[in-house]
Structure 1
Amino acid sequence: MQRSLADSRVKFRHLQCFLAVAQFGGVQKAAESLAITQPAVSKTVAELESILGVRLFERGRHGAVPTREGQLFMPHASACVSALRQGVDLLARAEGTAAATLDLGILPTVATAVVPPALKLFQTRWPHVVVRMVTASNTELLARLKAGTIEFAVGRLADPERMIGLSFEQLYREPLIAVVRAGHPLSTGAAPPAALLERFMVVLPPFGTLIRQSAESLLTAWGAPPLSSFVEMLSVSVGRALTLENDAVWFVPFSAVEYDLSRGELVRLPLPFAGTEEPVGLILRTDTQPSAAARALIDAVRNVTRQRIAPAVDKTRSPKRRRAAP
């Protein structure tokens, strides 16, 4: 088929359905996200495959996986959809008929420290913007970013193969710590024996996340025995409730509980070693540019982390470590 003819037949709905199926790995969830029927999604993707003359997905028991051709087409489809949305938002904002929209993703363990001050700074310059925020695991944020459903993410540096097509700008390095409620039996002046951990609920990041690896390193360095039971989650609100009400020992990034630590509601366990640190940063696509509103919020995130969060995290390190840093 001639390229000019194919170009004229590809519609916005084709790109939307293609990107949704690629993001969610199947027709059912893609249909739910687009608020249309499954047959409509399947028909639209089939139309696009017919127009392009290639198969875009391998379909099987595990859902729909992009083919080589689908992977090649994905960044261009995403850039097209993103550019159209940005143009519509800018026109609507210029005419005063509607607010601009901004879609971003952020880790739930980072959001509580970054979002409030960053949005406060952002809204002084962009008061008429609808901010749609997704909090999810790092893996899901990267998938959404590649699919073009968010403009940027605040997350952690992943394995090289998962960062293909993405850029990472480090904002700060954050330690994982263990916290308990004030007055908890383990919150003594000295480092508690690791064997006592078996008496309490332990809350860990989900398996497969970078901070779970840090938690396991902490437990090993502490000399803790294998855990017979524990709770896995990323939710900061539920982790906080379990720590305050169920006497849980919570392994969590420092910035997620900085406010509770400053108020004395939670206490950092005085473990006899330093926790491992993971880089937190801005993640963007390399094949497209963020909108003006997104650039403004990115600048706000940079300012907040540089002026408030990074210095607060740095205080958690020992004086010896700070002197050794370059």
Structure 2
Amino acid sequence: MPDPRSDRFVRSHLKTRHLVLLVELGRHGSIMHAAQAANLTQPAASKLLAELEHALGVQLFERLPRGVAPTWYGQVLIRRAGAALAEMDAAHQEVMELLSGLRGRVDVGCVLTPGASLVPEAVNLLKTRQPRVLVSISVDTSKLLVQRLRAGELDVVVGRILDTEAAGELTFEPVTDEPHSLIVRAGHPLAGRTDLTLAELVLQGWILPPTGSILRDRLTAMFLSQGLEPPAETVETLALPVIANLLVGSNMVVALPQELVAPYLQNGILEVLPFDLGLRMEMYGIITRRHHQLSPGAEAMLASLREVTAQRYPSKR
């Protein structure tokens, strides 16, 4: 049952200017700069913030010698304000597209492996049915993608839910897991060796995902558990074309799902080292916001993702 106090707050106190100011305060950490970005005077911005804090009965920002910092309550309001403004932007976009005869827009986020296969195939399927839908695709880590999804910047994410606090706001439809192999260029000095050891492999140059990613943490834990320091010679990147070119032009190694580089393996450009990392990632899946009504374009994209998933991974469904 809706809380009447919440309804009274939204209807009687909350204005669009409050939402805009909250988002800008979160971005700038300064009332002066947030006021400029929101086209307000500094006194007006201070008054709006005071109104919000009075209406809620909590402190939203700590006043610091140089700027402001959101409290826990402020962080909640900033995130929700961003999502609310994103919804209004999306509504305006939908109306304008309908007026111009277009079919809508969908913003999709995905981690690396589905970004190389599942998502492009789903987009192609969508385009055969709804060619005028504009599709925007972002490839990043699950953590950042889910943050953007919760903020209303993305419609659908193909990735993992890592933050248990966010799980209640989201729905997760499993797709598949990701067994990882060691990939090198064809003709690599270690290719064909059946006696490889982790101590020997750690001396190679490695291409690694950014610090803080699940795979990076798992690889680091794998080396440390064997009493080994992580590789000293490394390159950090998530960009597949960069990874492929680095491998082809050097003796570096990378831990990737074979599915991700299947065309390179089939054409004999890259090959798999005969060494079992014993490394598997949790299932990634299709993530959407719970109780959120998707636009027609986003609904069509979601349907295409589900259809392609059922075709590619029938045993996982």
Q: Which TM class, normalised by the smaller chain length?
A: 0.7 to 0.9
Q: Is 1:276 aligned with 2:280? A: yes
The answer for the alignment partner of 1:142 in structure 2 is: 146
The answer to whether the Cα contact below 8 Å between 1:172 and 1:281 also exists between their aligned partners in 2 is yes
Cα gap change, 1:276 to 1:73, in 2 (>3 Å): same
- Quick one: which of 208, 212, 215 aligns to 2:216? 212
Cα gap change, 1:272 to 1:39, in 2 (>3 Å): closer
Alignment: residue pair count:
303
In structure 1, what residue type is equivalent to 2:77?
F
The Cα shift of 1:111 comes to 1.1
| Cα displacement string for residues 34-62 of structure 1 (whole angstroms, at most 9, x for unaligned residues) | xx965858958656424423554446699
Cα gap change, 1:273 to 1:143, in 2 (>3 Å): closer
| Cα displacement string for residues 7-39 of structure 1 (whole angstroms, at most 9, x for unaligned residues) | 4xx12x6534534654x57579x98xxxx9658
In structure 1, what residue type is equivalent to 2:120?
P
The Cα shift of 1:67 comes to 2.6
The Cα shift of 1:119 comes to 0.8
**Inter-partner Cα distance in structure 1 for 2:20 and 2:131:** 29
- Quick one: which of 125, 130, 145 aligns to 2:129? 125
The Cα shift of 1:103 comes to 2.0
The answer for the alignment partner of 2:298 in structure 1 is: 294
The Cα shift of 1:255 comes to 3.1
| Cα displacement string for residues 255-275 of structure 1 (whole angstroms, at most 9, x for unaligned residues) | 322222222221111114543
**Inter-partner Cα distance in structure 2 for 1:129 and 1:45:** 39
The answer to whether the Cα contact below 8 Å between 2:182 and 2:277 also exists between their aligned partners in 1 is no
- Quick one: which of 63, 67, 71 aligns to 1:67? 71
| Cα displacement string for residues 255-304 of structure 1 (whole angstroms, at most 9, x for unaligned residues) | 32222222222111111454323211122222523222112112212222
The answer for the alignment partner of 2:260 in structure 1 is: 256
Cα gap change, 1:244 to 1:21, in 2 (>3 Å): farther
Q: Structure 1: which 5+ runs fail to align?
A: 315-324
**Inter-partner Cα distance in structure 1 for 2:266 and 2:63:** 52
**Inter-partner Cα distance in structure 1 for 2:61 and 2:211:** 28
The answer to whether the Cα contact below 8 Å between 2:79 and 2:151 also exists between their aligned partners in 1 is yes
**Inter-partner Cα distance in structure 1 for 2:179 and 2:254:** 13
List aligned pairs for 1:222-233, cutoff 5 A: 226-233=230-237
Cα gap change, 1:48 to 1:305, in 2 (>3 Å): farther
**Inter-partner Cα distance in structure 2 for 1:200 and 1:153:** 34
Cα gap change, 1:67 to 1:126, in 2 (>3 Å): farther
The answer to whether the Cα contact below 8 Å between 2:181 and 2:276 also exists between their aligned partners in 1 is no
The answer to whether the Cα contact below 8 Å between 1:6 and 1:52 also exists between their aligned partners in 2 is yes
Larger CA Rg, structure 1 vs 2: 2
| Cα displacement string for residues 164-213 of structure 1 (whole angstroms, at most 9, x for unaligned residues) | 52332211111122100111111115242334325531112222211223
SS of residue paired to 2:180 = strand
Q: Is 1:53 aligned with 2:53? A: yes
The answer for the alignment partner of 2:4 in structure 1 is: none
After TM superposition, the score normalised by the length of structure 2 is 0.78
The Cα shift of 1:233 comes to 2.5
SS of residue paired to 1:102 = strand
**Inter-partner Cα distance in structure 2 for 1:285 and 1:45:** 31
After TM superposition, the score normalised by the length of structure 1 is 0.76
The answer for the alignment partner of 2:171 in structure 1 is: 167
The Cα shift of 1:91 comes to 2.6
The Cα shift of 1:5 comes to 4.4
The answer to whether the Cα contact below 8 Å between 1:20 and 1:147 also exists between their aligned partners in 2 is no
The Cα shift of 1:144 comes to 1.2
The answer to whether the Cα contact below 8 Å between 1:19 and 1:74 also exists between their aligned partners in 2 is yes
The answer to whether the Cα contact below 8 Å between 1:168 and 1:282 also exists between their aligned partners in 2 is yes
The Cα shift of 1:71 comes to 4.1
The answer to whether the Cα contact below 8 Å between 1:157 and 1:279 also exists between their aligned partners in 2 is no
| Cα displacement string for residues 211-238 of structure 1 (whole angstroms, at most 9, x for unaligned residues) | 2233335546888664233223222222
| Cα displacement string for residues 78-109 of structure 1 (whole angstroms, at most 9, x for unaligned residues) | 45334423433433343335552222222234
The answer for the alignment partner of 1:177 in structure 2 is: 181
**Inter-partner Cα distance in structure 2 for 1:45 and 1:187:** 64
**Inter-partner Cα distance in structure 1 for 2:67 and 2:279:** 39
**Range with greater deviation from structure 2 (104-113 or 93-102):** 93-102
The answer to whether the Cα contact below 8 Å between 2:158 and 2:285 also exists between their aligned partners in 1 is yes
The answer to whether the Cα contact below 8 Å between 1:78 and 1:146 also exists between their aligned partners in 2 is no
Cα gap change, 1:264 to 1:124, in 2 (>3 Å): same
Q: Is 1:6 aligned with 2:13? A: yes
In structure 2, what residue type is equivalent to 1:6?
H
Residue identity (%): 29
The Cα shift of 1:244 comes to 1.2
The answer to whether the Cα contact below 8 Å between 1:106 and 1:141 also exists between their aligned partners in 2 is yes
Cα gap change, 1:189 to 1:74, in 2 (>3 Å): same
**Inter-partner Cα distance in structure 1 for 2:251 and 2:266:** 19
